[in-house]
Amino acid sequence: MSKDDRLNKQIDQFYEQVPEVPDAHPMKDYLLKHENNQMAWYLLGKQYMARGETAKANYCFRQAGPVYEAFEEKANPLAGDAADGTGGAGRTRRRRRGVLLAAGGGLLLALGLLLAGDRAHAPTSAEAMAPPAKTQPGDATAAPQSPAGSDAPPQAAGKATPGGGGPQIALVAGASEPAGDGRRALGELLLHRETAAPSLLVETPVLGKWTDWQRSGRPLAQVRPAGKQAAAAVDWFAPGWCPCNTAQDGAPAAKQVRAWKPLQEGKLMLRSAVVHYKERTGKWPSSLSSLAGAYPNNAVAGTNEALEGWFKAIRDESGAASAPKQPDDAGWPSDGGPADGQGKPAGRLSPLTERTLEIRIDKTRHRLAVVAGDVLLRNYAIGIGAKDTPTPEGSFEITEKVRNPNGRADGAFGSRGMTLSDTLYAIHGTDEPDSIGKSESLGCIRMKREDLEELYDLAPLGTKVTIAQGGLPSELRAPAERFRLKPAQDETNPRKTYKWLN
């Protein structure tokens, strides 16, 4: 049977249901020309159900197949009469596979209608996952790429990369809960077309107003995108997020994310250093050695092969080599460096690629945090100024970084020091570790040695420091394996005696 014959048959079946009722739904004409659009069939069924036209609604729900079951979380009312002859058992197997289905350009069309406020209304659990998009019929599809009913584990679409990092990933999108940002993040992954590599959706818990980086990373789903093909698939790892209430084995993806996370911190540090270098000098750094020089040109505390690869990628993506742009235009190094680091942060993790690293200090809770936008990467305990010698509030920046101030690592200032805006205030170590968490200094910020040395490597010259009352959670956040760089230069300054307000 030709497509035209099949379409005419469906039109006849449609009007046989309730032929005497006039129809004026805006989506019906599109559906009668693109009969495989299961998402649009589902939405049209919701329209008829709202008008009390049960027969027509059930017909549409039957055409919607597993899309109805995914959003309604119950069996299709006519599952046993499915036109494809698979019956309820086939749909159950497809739901267990965790695949989101639609056809033609219908997913984008349906989501666009939902957000645009048209008459196609779905229930709360079927709110749009992505912003409205201008599309043409046949533009994109989500459909399974494995046989229906298969329970085999998902296979990544990306090619394996050198270095043992597993398959490439395009995006790693964070979401804190299934509704709202979960749908938006999943929609972003479904619509991503820059590469054919799969993307990951990961859980990003919140800590007050902050995205909790240290607790983030539990794999929720893998999305194999449409690209130029009219198909995309979602393999779910978390039963609580999957509309089918089952899950694939997420252990391989979890391992991949664990290797991926610390490498993103290196990218963030490097990109921040490049931006601040441009702010200080008016030009882009010509090489990584321009950033990792000897004191006082030690914008970053060391270098390695990964940083070399990422520096080149930042230069290439920002266009800095040929046409300098504003500092915020520095690119994110999607390529270069270890294969494990590939995969651009997205969703709730997108501030990592858009904002520079900053330091926030909360005098009320005695906390110092490393943040990028609203993503909180670290939260350390600190000591601050006493009541009669308070730590000043306001905005500062790191204008000097020195290793072993005054020639020793066990003195009053510890093993590292970072001057704030060329003042006598600094972030440094201490030989009085019991003062951490208290207000006993002459105004400087004291830190434990392991926290300070990690912060020194994370925060490049030019990092913004904001000191205020409140604003940070009390929960401490630091990884078991700290971020460290291998020193590449002499960062000591024996010519100066430091007299910070300890």
Q: Which amino acids are annotated catalytic? A: 428, 444
DSSP 19: T
* H or E stretch at 69: helix 66-72
DSSP 338: -
Query: What pairs with residue 467 in β-bridges?
Result: 361, 394
| Location of structure tokens 């995914």 | 70
Q: Residue 344 corresponds to which tokens in the numbers above?
A: 């651009």
Q: Residue 87 corresponds to which tokens in the numbers above?
A: 């019956």
Please report, to the nearest 10 degrees, the dihedral formed by the alpha carbons of residues 286, 288, 294, 299 taken in order: 90
> Which residues touch 92 (CB under 8 Å, ≥6 apart)?
none
- Dihedrals φ, ψ of 325, to 5°? -115, -175
Residue 116, classified by CB atoms within 10 Å of its CB into exposed (0-12), middle (13-18) or buried (19+), is exposed
Q: Residue 15 corresponds to which tokens in the numbers above?
A: 């009007």
Nearest to 402 by CA among 303, 288, 500: 500
With b for 16 or more beta-carbon neighbours within 10 A and e for fewer, the 356-387 pattern comes to: bbbbbbbbebbbbbbbbbebbbbbbbbbbbee
> Which residues touch 3 (CB under 8 Å, ≥6 apart)?
none
Query: What pairs with residue 420 in β-bridges?
Result: 398
